[in-house]
């Protein structure tokens, strides 16, 4: 006898939007997007200041991330006609609406990185496999 599948989670509530939900989560769940949004949380920043503030991000990844966030309407890019050129990035109202969620994710990651690292070490030491329920 085949057991009917149990469907749960957000895709059950919004089946038509589940693809768009995944796309949205990909954007805001991306490690660089989280850091860029949280860094721009309270002020606009120039490109070089933003790169210095987001540790470990390459110039290419910062550019790719900024373009994607701008395309999604989460930030604006303002170029000033000056010599040398000055460009600033700032969150839009839509981007600021994500700030609490992004900060919660970043805070959780900072608070639990040791737990995750310990779990990874334990898993790697035990080898591949899963616990079996008897």
Q: Report pLDDT digits (tens) over 60-72.
A: 999 999 999 999 9
How far are the Cα atoms of 19, 101, 127 from residue 25, in angstroms, in the given order?
10, 11, 31
Q: In what order do the strands lie in the sheet with 75-80?
A: 45-46, 86-91, 75-80
Opening angle at CA 120, ends 114 and 124, nearest 5: 150
Confidence band for 132, pLDDT divided at 50, 70 and 90: low
Residue 3 has a pLDDT of: 84
Ranges of each domain in the chain: 19-125
Average pLDDT over every residue of 49-67:
96
Rounded Cα distance between 39 and 41, Å, is: 5
Q: Which residues contact 63 (CB under 8 A, 6 or more apart)?
A: none
Q: Does domain 19-125 have CATH number 3.40.50.80?
A: no
Query: What b/e readout covers 59-78, taking b as 16+ CB neighbours within 10 angstroms?
Result: eebbeebbebbeebebbeee
Give the lowest-confidence range in 26-30, 53-57, 93-97, 125-129: 125-129
- Whole-model pTM: value is 0.76
Confidence band for 129, pLDDT divided at 50, 70 and 90: low
- 47: number of Cβ within 10 Å: 17
Is the pLDDT reported for residue 47 higher than 90? yes
Task: Identify the three-state secondary structure at position 112.
Answer: helix
């Amino acid at each position: 006898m085949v057991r009917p599948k149990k469907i749960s989670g957000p895709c059950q509530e919004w089946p038509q939007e589940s693809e768009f939900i995944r796309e949205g989560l990909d954007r805001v769940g991306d490690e660089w997007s989280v850091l860029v949004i949280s860094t721009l949380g309270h002020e606009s920043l120039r490109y070089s200041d933003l790169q210095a503030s987001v540790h470990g991000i390459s110039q290419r990844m910062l550019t790719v991330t900024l373009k994607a966030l701008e395309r999604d309407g989460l930030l604006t890019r303002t170029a000033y006609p000056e010599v040398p050129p000055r460009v600033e990035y700032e969150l839009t109202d839509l981007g600021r609406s994500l700030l609490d969620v992004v900060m919660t994710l970043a805070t959780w990651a900072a608070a639990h990185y040791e737990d995750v690292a310990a779990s990874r070490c334990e898993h790697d030491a035990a080898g591949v496999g899963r616990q079996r329920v008897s």
